[in-house]
Amino acid sequence: MDRSRFAEPRPSWRGPSVRKMFTLPLLLLTGLADGAGAQAPPAGEGQASRAFQISVNVDLVVLNATVREQKGLLAADLREQDFEVYEDGVRQSIRLFRHEDIPVTVGLVVDHSGSMRVKLQDVIAAARVFVHSSSPQDEMFVVNFNEKVTLGLPDAIPFTNRAEELALAISSTPADGMTALYDAVAVARERVQAGSRDKKVLIVISDGNDTASKASLAQVLKMAEHSGVLVYTIGVFDPDDQDRNPGVLRRLAHATGGEAFFPGQLNEVVSICERLAREIRNQYTIGYVSSNPTKPGAYRSIRVVAHGAVNSKLSVRTRAGYTIGRDSRPLKDEAAK
């Protein structure tokens, strides 16, 4: 892939000078940080990873936005002046704008219940395609689940970007038993935070029906809504499948600004994973400092608008808001258009 088309100018900072700067993960700054401390880079972290970190004011609200044209194609050549950001209906001044292919920590969360037995070979093929379409600097892991939740990679290999290691991690667990989807998402969310990349993504492949979790859907949604981790879900089931639950998969994805996919044919999982890899690498990072007075506990709605060529219609999907408080991470994500 020609990465030169992703290149954009250095972050744009406008307005009063920032009094205090910290190096913080991008996605953990999607809400207003209340008394947040500095996050130092992990010991021994490579130079390539450090190159993608951003030093920002702790009051910066950071959004990761996917922009598509009317025909569904990614809008890849937009500039800062093509965007408008509104908080509670009030237009905000953009302080940070980047469009770069930054490394990502990705968790593949794969259903291994009995209903998935005939589907795993297509899931493994999709994982291989996802790896080959992703950045070579990405780091990935696998969470397998039936009524139990296990990490697919060996203990000595917490993360990898090798397709064969990920394929083996998925195939090593037999498909049998019940489904602990909510427990698996909770474990994957904790695991992805251990990754060294600023951007965090989970891809959940399941029929969506939970039959064995200790955690509830409400608990998992609350964790998702308070997290900066993007969640994409892929529902693999037949129309008459009694185990299907597309509503759960939609809610898990939309709670984070991600997207839910429901392929008509099982082999479409491969093309969906290839599309996800392209989308993750083509998102815009937009930051602003709220002009609204701070009121702890208040919910702030966010709307992002993008303008393209004359008569072109663009859709923007990103977080739809955040709540101010001690834990200031956003509580709701939707598609903004």
What pLDDT does residue 25 have?
37
Whole-number pLDDT of residue 178: 92
**Which domains are seen in the chain, by residue range?**
3-99+287-336 (no CATH), 104-281 (3.40.50.410)
User: pLDDT of the chain along its 337 residues, tens only?
Assistant: 444 443 444 343 333 333 333 333 333 333 333 333 333 344 444 444 444 454 444 578 878 899 999 888 899 889 999 999 999 999 999 999 999 898 999 999 999 998 888 899 999 999 999 999 999 999 999 999 999 999 999 999 999 999 999 999 999 999 999 999 999 999 999 999 999 998 899 999 998 789 999 999 989 887 776 667 889 999 988 777 776 788 999 988 887 888 999 998 888 999 999 999 999 999 998 999 999 887 777 778 889 999 987 767 899 998 777 767 544 443 333 344 4
User: For residue 196, how many other CB atoms are within 10 A of its CB?
Assistant: 17
Output the CA torsion 322→54→233→154 (10° steps): -130
Angle between helical axes of 246-254 and 217-225 (0-180°, round to 10): 20
Q: What is the pLDDT of residue 76?
A: 83
13-51 residues labelled b (16+ CB within 10 A) or e (exposed)? beeeeeeeebebbbbbbbbbbeeeeeeeeeeeeeeebee
- Give the pLDDT score at 58: 58
Could you tell me which residues are beta bridge partners of residue 202?
A: 107, 231
Tokens encoding 123: 């899931």
**What per-residue confidence (pLDDT) applies to 325?**
56
